[in-house]
Amino acid sequence: MPARAWQGYLSVGCCLIGGYYLVPPSGSGLMLRVVLYSLVSASATGAILIGLRRCPSPRPWLPWLLLALGQAVYAIADVIFYTAHYLFDSARFPSVADVFYLGRYPLVCVALALLIRRRTPGRDLAGLLDAGTLAVIAALLSWLFLIGPQARAQLTILVKVTTLAHPVMDLAIFAVALRLVLGQGRQSMSFFLLNVHLFAIFAADTLHGLQLLDGSYTTGNYLDAIWLAGNLALGAAALHPTVCCLDQPPRREEVQFGPVRMLALTAAGLVGPAVLLADYHRRSFGDTVATATAWAVLFLLTVLKMHRLIAEQRRLAVTDELTGLYTRRYFQSRLASEVARARRSGGDVAVLMIDVDHFKAINDRYGHPAGDRALVGIADRLRSATGAEGLLARHGGEEFALLLASAPVADLLAVCERLRCRVANRPITIAEGISVTVTVSIGAAMHPHHAGDSGELVTIADQALYRAKACGRDRSVIGRVAEAPVPHRVDGARPPGTELATALVPRRLRGAANPAPMVDFLRFAADQVDVGLSTREHSLAVARWARLLATEMGYDDDTAVQAELAGRLHDVGKIVIPPAILGKRHGLSDDEWGLLRQHPDQGAQLVGLIPGFERVAEIVRQHHERYDGTGYPARLAGTRILPEARILAVCDSWAAMRSDRPYRSALDEPAAVGELRRGRGVQYDPRVVDAFLDLHQRGRLPVNVRQRAPEFQLVVLQPPAGADGTVVEGIPGG
């Protein structure tokens, strides 16, 4: 059947309606009128069955079969009614036709309820309240002008019951139709035609009741055209191609609250006062009770709607739009309150920071919409793995955060591994026919075991997450406070403030040396070099700037983390350089320069001993290479230098220029900016210089704070202990 069969059906139906009115209502024309009217009325049933067969599986059988059955019952009633009126001139009321007319209403109500249920799988309180508001107004007007006068009329019981049953059942269908119109679902042409049918029948039935009250109704007047047009609209709705998606839920962007809906609700709210004002001018207050009751119901519906809107605004304020998880702000506020509660009660609070591995690669290869679908899939898996245990939030970008109250510290790693495995256990569909396997890295910390306040707790969990990334990703790392190798004062006393955060190594690395104490040891060694060379913090500042600059230049998180780690450890090789050379105030000899230029290689060897830090070691090795190829140790040039090393070179030079050194005083900002510009394209990558100076001009670079004077004298550095307490070989003393 052609896709435009519904248009042909409407055209033929309109011709039949025109013929119905052209046939004279006398003689043989009476029989033709009955045939034409009954044919149009019954045709809707056949159109529904034909249209339903055209739908691909699964077909929305039940709602449309009920509509077809209801229309068939309605057509039988029309045949009985118009045969009695035209052929037998019988105006008996109630008649057999009324039984069929009334039998149609329950079938239509159930069919519409099924459609609403399928179009709105969840709760749609907004649509329900708005439909209730308009239905109350319709009921009030129907009572004032139709039901009330009929109820007060002096009629027999059977006549009065039948008379009142029609408008009451019409109101029931009208209320359900309003719920369908104001609810969610696809707004298609089939949907529009179905609603034309419902409201046309309601309007014609209401006008019919009013005409019966004032005695002006005659068979064959304009109401027949409205009834027949409504029947044609039902058949066309079933024949239209969009009938197949009539029962489908909406896309997110189709849920709207338009001006027409607002105007209708506003007008409905003014009906009650208008009726009372009209009663006041007429000095007739017979229906005041009905009006006041309807107005009270409207007031209650309005209060419920306001309550729903407030609750929805609160939900939106704390909910991430894409994933449906809580927002970062809400997570932080709940974390602060949970930590405060734990302090009072002595309980535990855990924080898990969860970051998607290689997420930028998904965006770059498949596009940002695919990346959004991946985030939604990950959020769903994390939510299902979390259950009701904690509060899950989107912390920003591709990072999530989980808050667990009263979680035993012994179970924390098991929780992390459950989340990690749930995400990675099967691919996520990001586009039609495209699925990707996604992994996450997790860092966790617990109050009071790792930190005493909420901010520090997140920081330690973040540090653990960075370790998980640096150790190869797709793993869980638990932050813990442990004793790292520390120096001693000359008098043998232990210096204050020497506890460092380390990590619990994932299962796959437990057979090798634990990298965390090694990292802590090298950071400590780098800090000792900084204290001896600079008046301001050097390695910490370079690490922060390198990560910020890498992110600003569009590199992925992995590159930014590698740059940050290399910046933290880039000068660790100087620990093997004699202090007399490092602190020399005048020019170095050729031999001394040769020894100093070995520190990138020395640092790379030290960093390369840490499992998973091979690239970080190579960045450290290249951070003194120059863009024009005159640097050291390998005289690399241009893009042969790793991008992280090119970033590190600019950050390292800026930190050195802005600090006092044994051989010169710090440069002021204009002088340092000039040095970077002069080195652009010669010593430094031009893109890196431009991005760095742009960050500096916008005030985005954190200031490297003044270095605190050392509290102890460095005597000897011992190699750190491994996970099993043995000494990790290969790290020389200094």
- Looking at every residue in the chain, the average pLDDT score rounds to 81
454 against 186, higher pLDDT: 454
- The per-residue pLDDT for 376 is 93
Beta strands at 349-356 and 399-405: parallel, antiparallel or unpaired? antiparallel
- Residue 173: alpha-carbon gap to chain centroid: 37
Backbone phi and psi for residue 558, each to the nearest 5 degrees, phi listed first = -65, -45
Cis peptide bond upstream of 633, omega within 30: yes
Of 734, 408, 379, which Cα lies nearest the Cα of 579? 734
Domain ranges in the chain? 1-119+219-248, 318-482, 513-734
Q: What is the pLDDT of residue 409?
A: 65
Q: How many H helices and E strands in the chain?
A: 26, 8
CATH class belonging to 318-482:
alpha beta
* Cα(358)–Cα(174) distance, integer angstroms: 54
- Nearest 5°: the CA angle 516, 360, 422 is 65
- Per-residue b/e over 311-345, b at no fewer than 16 CB within 10 Å? eeeeeeeebbeebebbbbebbbebbeebbeebeee
Share of the chain above pLDDT 70, in %: 84
Beta bridge partners of 401: 353, 393
Sign of the dihedral defined by the CA atoms of residues 427, 429, 430, 434, in that order = positive
CA atoms within 13 A on the CB side of 293: 10
Q: Quickly state the pLDDT bin for 509 (edges 50, 70, 90).
A: very low
* pLDDT tens readout for residues 131-163: 888 888 888 888 888 888 888 888 888 888 988
**Which amino acid, residue 694?**
D
Q: Dump pLDDT digits (tens) for 65-124.
A: 999 999 999 999 999 999 988 888 887 888 899 999 999 999 999 999 998 888 887 677
CATH architecture of 513-734: Orthogonal Bundle (1.10)
pLDDT at 3: 66
Rounded to whole angstroms, the Cα distance separating 515 from 721 reads: 10
Is the separation of the CB atoms in 147 and 164 below 8 Å?
Answer: yes
Question: What is the arithmetic mean of pLDDT over 212-226?
Answer: 89
Please measure the distance between the N-terminal and C-terminal CA atoms of the chain and give it in whole angstroms.
Answer: 89
pLDDT value at residue 194 = 93
Q: pTM for the whole thing? A: 0.51
Q: What number of other Cβ atoms are within 10 A of residue 591's Cβ?
A: 9
Q: Which of 131, 126, 163, 158 is nearest to 147 (CA)?
A: 163
Residue for token digits 């060379």? 533
Q: What is the pLDDT of residues 569-588, one digit of tens each?
A: 988 888 777 777 776 766 67
CA proximity to 612, closest of 408, 400, 441, 469? 469
How many angstroms separate the CA atoms of 613 and 598, rounded?
Answer: 20
Of the pLDDT bands very low, low, confident and very high (cuts 50, 70, 90), residue 477 is: confident
Residue in 414, 420, 421 with CA at minimum distance from that of residue 400: 420
Confidence bin at 714 (pLDDT 50/70/90): very low
pLDDT band at 53 (very low <50, low <70, confident <90, very high): confident
d(CA 522, CA 540): 13
What percent of the chain is helix, strand and coil (3-state, nearest 5)?
Answer: 60, 10, 30
CA 573/CA 525 separation, integer angstroms: 9
Q: Where are the alpha helices (DSSP H) in 120-222?
A: 125-142, 148-152, 157-182, 189-214
Q: Both tokens of residue 330?
A: 């809400």
What are the tens digits of pLDDT across the range 369-392? 999 999 999 999 999 988 777 899
Which residue shows structure tokens 């909406």?
250
Query: Residue 350: beta bridge partners?
Result: 404, 446
Q: Omega of the bond prior to 58 within 30 degrees of 0, cis? A: yes
